Amino acid sequence: MIRFKCIYCGQRILAREEGRGKKGKCPKCEHLLVVPWTTKGRPAISADIPEQLQKVREAVATLSTAQDLSSDIAELYGEKPGWLIPTYDELSLFLMAATFILLGATNNTMREQIYKGITAIVDIRVYFLAVIFLGGIVLSLYHVFTTRKKTEFEKKVMLAFAVLVNAGTGIISGWYVIKNSEVHNWQLVFPIWNIANGVLLLVMLRLKVIDENCISDREATLVQIILGLTAVLAIFILCNYVFKLYWAITFSICIVYTTSFDRALQNVFPGLMCGENEQAA
């Protein structure tokens, strides 16, 4: 097998030996690549490499800092620069939806607070957001088990779900810790950061800094789904039943740890965690 990285998004790709020199799309960002003949210290190359190299050389000549270089190259390729821009793939969206359903089915406090929050605000837009949120859950559960490509509308609904659930739980959990904690020192940085991060997500969604392009077309494998669900259940049981944490904190911990767990597995076992579309470019 040939192991190499996409020069655009850094996605690890596996290709068969007979794929050397052939063209194919990156399974994550869908840029056209050529499977390299040799991979030692050499990344994947673009199918239109002369033109791309010329653009990069011009960018290097006109920019003076590494940060400016990163932004300019991202603009050349039509991608969103910056580490603050989140991306969500099928597995992360599925785990968010599964965790939310688990909490909704087992945590009375969560159900009561959501019900009170919805009924307390007499505004049709609240019910509209609730419908979009539920639609995002359904689509996140559906697409992880199908190979059908997501439409632009479906991506927008799934993005709204991801941002609302992450921003909402971050703000609620952060406020809960500040309100109920007797600690008033540097440890308050963590709940304050959760609140700030949640507000930032909402602002970026409102300003369309985050859009449907942040929903990846990378498909989840059966192995990833099983391992991800297993990790979610284990962390969920510990947080919700053993430590009896507040529901928003439980949700945040489940998502953070399972996402990190998935990335760690991809780094350690790239062959095990890659789907067919990643194994042959």
The pLDDT of 206-222, averaged and rounded, is 88
The pLDDT of 119-145, averaged and rounded, is 91
Tens of pLDDT, residue by residue over 252-271, are 999 888 777 766 766 666 55
Nearest-angstrom CA–CA distance, 100 and 266: 24
The pLDDT of 39-49, averaged and rounded, is 47
Residues 10, 65, single domain; the answer is no
Residues 205, 105, single domain; the answer is yes
Residues 79, 120, single domain; the answer is no
Nearest-angstrom CA–CA distance, 39 and 52: 20
User: Is residue 233 situated within a structural domain?
Assistant: yes
Residues 64, 42, single domain; the answer is no
User: Is residue 177 situated within a structural domain?
Assistant: yes
Residues 71, 12, single domain; the answer is no
Least confident interval from 92-96, 134-138, 190-194, 261-265: 261-265
* End residue of a domain, out of 33, 66, 83: 83
Residues 189, 64, single domain; the answer is no
* pLDDT band of 54, cuts 50, 70, 90: low
User: Is residue 281 situated within a structural domain?
Assistant: no
Residues 38, 110, single domain; the answer is no
Nearest-angstrom CA–CA distance, 251 and 39: 40
User: Is residue 114 situated within a structural domain?
Assistant: yes
Domain count across the chain: 3
User: Is residue 24 situated within a structural domain?
Assistant: yes
Residues 57, 139, single domain; the answer is no
User: Is residue 278 situated within a structural domain?
Assistant: no
Q: What percent of the chain has pLDDT over 90?
A: 40
Nearest-angstrom CA–CA distance, 131 and 36: 46
Nearest-5° angle of CA 89, CA 95, CA 98? 140
- φ and ψ at 81, to 5 degrees? -80, 165
Rg of the Cα atoms in the chain: 21
Residues 195, 56, single domain; the answer is no
User: Is residue 109 situated within a structural domain?
Assistant: yes
Residues 69, 123, single domain; the answer is no
Residues 110, 247, single domain; the answer is yes
The two tokens of residue 35 are 């499977």
Range of 73's domain? Answer: 51-83
- One-letter amino acid at 239 equals C
Measured from the Cβ of residue 3, the count of other Cβ atoms closer than 10 Å reads 12
User: Is residue 40 situated within a structural domain?
Assistant: yes
Residues 208, 235, single domain; the answer is yes
* pLDDT band of 47, cuts 50, 70, 90: very low
The two tokens of residue 75 are 């603009």
Nearest-angstrom CA–CA distance, 210 and 102: 27
